[in-house]
Amino acid sequence: MGDDHRIEYLCQRCQQPLKLDPSLYSIDEHTLAELALPVSPAPDVDLVNQAGSLDRLYLPTKLADSTGNGFTLVGESGQESTISHQLRVTSELFDMLSDNSQVDHPLCEECTDSLLENIERQLELAEQEAQEYQDYLNNLNQETEDSSSVSALETELQQLQLQESQLNQELEDLKREENEADSMLAEAVRRREELEREEERYWREYSRHKHKLLQAEDEYRSLDLQLRTTQNQLEKLKKTNVFNATFHIWHSGHFGTINGFRLGRLPSVPVDWSEVNTAWGQTVLLLYSLCRKINLSLTKYQLVPFGNFSYIKVLAENKELPLYGSGGFKLIWDNKFDSGMAAFLECLQQFKEEVERGDSGFCLPYDMEKGKIVDKATGNSYSVKMQFNSEEQWTKAMKYMLTNLKWGLAWVTSKYPSKATS
């Protein structure tokens, strides 16, 4: 058959064109029949594993029934009888090979070598396994029921069974402990939640009490500061003479003053009568307080401090002598104001005599007699009355009278310090 009229087959694995040996075309019918007889594979050959070891397999295809699968027809129609015979022979041959194996034929030389190498490796592994199984079988056959290894194995088996029983019991115990631990954990979780709620309540209470404590501390500090301030003031008050603080006798030019109020009048300085009356009210209150401190009871008069309208009450006649004026010098028949000032001077004289009886060293800077004040240094006397008197003389008499009161106040303060500050 020429090159232009030939049949070409493809390798069923790599799909490469195959060049068949010419002897394949000369196989007769008898030879094909013998080859078609069933062939049992050797027990040591695993064709499944051999086929699976190939990289890529195709299901076997009946070449005799196909029309163009796996081969290509080349040539003219005049040679159809020869080609048909060759095609039938080769197709039946390849179909028989494919039916007796799980590998599709035809195969090229390279794919066939690869298949053979895999089969040889698997054969070697199978032989090794068979040898190992044979050795193990020989060892088992050599062992008898009475051998020590069987007894040891039975003993070991019993020990393992006992150990299994113990482990099962331990497992049951562990499961029971696990259940108990779960119960304890649930109780602990419940207790923890309860403690967290109690802690939250505690912190709320703590914050509230802390707030109250801070408020109390602020109040305490405020009260402590107030107490210290009060104590400081008390200490100052204890060191302060009540009479000196209440009745401050001083002078302002020609005027004697008591608590800043001027007692007197001058033509050049016409002091308002309301100020004069206020000064007289303070003067009466001072002498009244001094008499109470030394427990002096006046014999003829009673001092009545009444602010701007203070007066002296004549006990025998139940008559009031005013120690306040309303303006100008009075006429001769209106002398109650002058009588009141003279009576006040007599009360001051009684205070002086009472003090001298208890303290012989007591002495006033100015003498007092019958409504007049005498200056010891010059021997001049000044009337406390306004009638038939000048404003200058009367103002000086008032100044000297306040000076005597200041001395009497100083003596009472030094003589009765505790009483004076009580």
Residues 191 and 121 in one domain: no
Q: Does residue 382 share a domain with residue 364?
A: yes
Q: Is it true that the peptide bond before 106 is cis, omega within 30 degrees of 0?
A: yes
- d(Cα 321, Cα 318) in Å, to the nearest integer? 10
Bridge partners of 249, per DSSP, are: 258
Specify the pLDDT at position 10: 83
Q: Is residue 227 part of a domain?
A: yes
352-358 long-range Cβ contacts below 8 angstroms, 24+ apart? 352/404, 352/408, 354/294, 354/296, 355/294, 355/408, 355/411, 358/294
Question: Among residues 239, 274, 307, which one ends one of the domains?
Answer: 239
CA–CA distance from 64 to each of 36, 69, 107, 243 (Å)? 14, 10, 17, 155
Single pTM value for the model? 0.46
Q: What is the pLDDT of residues 231-248, one digit of tens each?
A: 988 887 777 677 777 888
Q: What is the mean pLDDT of the chain?
A: 80
161-170, 223-232, 380-389: least confidently modelled range: 380-389
Give the domain extent around 205. Answer: 153-239
Does 158 lie in the same domain as 133?
no
Return phi, psi of residue 176, to 5°: -65, -45
Q: How far apart are CA 123 and CA 394, in angstroms?
A: 162
> Quick one: pLDDT at residue 105?
74
CA distance 278 to 308: 5
Same domain, 135 and 159: no
> pLDDT tier at 153 (50, 70, 90 boundaries)?
confident
Distances (CA, A) of 164 to 149, 203, 337: 21, 55, 135
52 domain residue, yes or no = yes
At which of 139, 170, 190 does a domain end? 139
Decide if 147 is inside a domain: no
The answer to which of 24-33, 144-153, 249-258, 372-381 has the lowest mean pLDDT is: 144-153
Report the CATH number at residue 288: 1.10.418.40
Burial 349-360 (b: 16+ CB within 10 A, else e): bbbbebbeeeee
pLDDT digits (tens, 9 = 90+) for 281-293: 999 999 999 999 8
Token code pair at residue 291 = 């008499």
Name the 3-class secondary structure at 76.
coil
pLDDT at 97: 75
Q: What percent of the chain has pLDDT over 90?
A: 36
196 and 230 in a single domain? The answer is yes
Do residues 318 and 397 both lie within one domain?
yes
Q: How many Cβ atoms from other residues are within 10 Å of residue 164's Cβ? A: 11
User: Any residues with CB less than 8 A from the CB of 319 and at least 6 apart, and which?
Assistant: 313
**Do 297 and 404 sit in the same domain of this protein?**
yes
Bridge pairing between strands 249-252 and 381-383: unpaired
* 302 and 231 in a common domain: no
Q: Is residue 344 part of a domain?
A: yes
Q: In this structure, are 183 and 133 located in the same domain?
A: no
Q: Does position 109 have pLDDT exceeding 50, yes or no?
A: yes
Alpha carbon of residue 69 to chain centroid? 88
227 lies in the same domain as 258: no
Q: Are residues 203 and 227 in the same domain?
A: yes
At 146 the pLDDT is 53
Q: What is the DSSP letter of 62?
A: -
Q: What are residue 251's DSSP bridge partners?
A: 256
Residue 85, domain member (yes or no): yes
Higher pLDDT, 72 or 192: 192
Q: Is 359 in the same domain as 275?
A: yes
Assigned domain for 146 exists? no
What is the total count of domains within the chain? 3
Chain mean position to CA 417: 61
Does residue 311 register a pLDDT over 80?
Answer: yes
148 domain residue, yes or no: no
Return the half-sphere exposure (C-beta side, CA atoms, 13 A cut-off) of residue 370: 1
Q: What is the pLDDT of residue 54?
A: 42
- Residue 396 scores a pLDDT above 60: yes
Q: Alpha-carbon distance 105 to 59, whole Å?
A: 10
Q: Is the pLDDT of residue 147 over 80?
A: no
Asked whether the predicted pLDDT for residue 199 surpasses 60, the reply is yes
Order of strands across the sheet that contains 17-18? 17-18, 7-10, 71-73
Of 58, 173, 48, the C-alpha closest to 106 is: 58
At 22-76, the pLDDT tens digits run: 776 667 777 777 777 765 554 454 544 544 444 443 344 455 544 444 444 444 4
Q: Using alpha carbons only, what angle is made at residue 262 by residues 375 and 291, rounded to the nearest 5 degrees?
A: 65
Weakest mean pLDDT among 61-75, 124-138, 161-175, 283-297: 61-75
Q: Name 64's Cβ contacts closer than 8 Å, sequence gap at least 6.
A: 88, 91, 92, 95
